[in-house]
Structure 1
Amino acid sequence: MSTPQSVTTQQVNATPQYETIAGVVERLTFHSEESGYTVARLTRPRTTDLTTIVGSFANIQPGQTLQLTGFWRDHPQHGPQFQVVNYLSLD
């Protein structure tokens, strides 16, 4: 005899929630010349903590002001990061 099973359905959001942030590059933590993959720390208005940004950048430098489009993710080892999809230099 089979008993009815409760099926829980969760809506899986396959598309990340994109947003746009802006700030000044404080420092580069890692940069690969080959791929352009970069990890950097960003100072944003109205926040006291630095924001970690990750993505492919052609050539960003500390002190540069950027407008970034992307999504937030939680890295298991390094914590919250903003994954950049597009960026624009405001300098």
Structure 2
Amino acid sequence: MDQLTRRDVLSRWGGVTAGAVTLGFGGLRLFSETPSLRADETGQGYGELVRDRKRRVDLPAGFDYSVISRSAKDVRRIPCSGKSGRMAAFAGPEI
């Protein structure tokens, strides 16, 4: 049995990578050629906006939302993860 060299591994994975990239761009082409989502009966986008009772955001009928974070909320008393995960903090005015 022949010994597998680094060159063999790199050339094989290079072929696999090139194939994956080619297939990916082929899918991108198909995605870009598909028609966008259909409009409503009037032909205008997704229809009229439905007023939100909480006055946060008005959305078309059938759409919904979830609040995942509020801005300007004091987080000093709220437990936070020690791992920031690409968050940043900058000096600002005292609250």
Higher percent of residues as helix: 2
Structure-1-length-normalised TM-score: 0.27
RCO (CA 8 Å, sep 6+): is it higher in 1 or 2?
1
Structure-2-length-normalised TM-score: 0.26
Bigger Rg, structure 1 or 2: 2
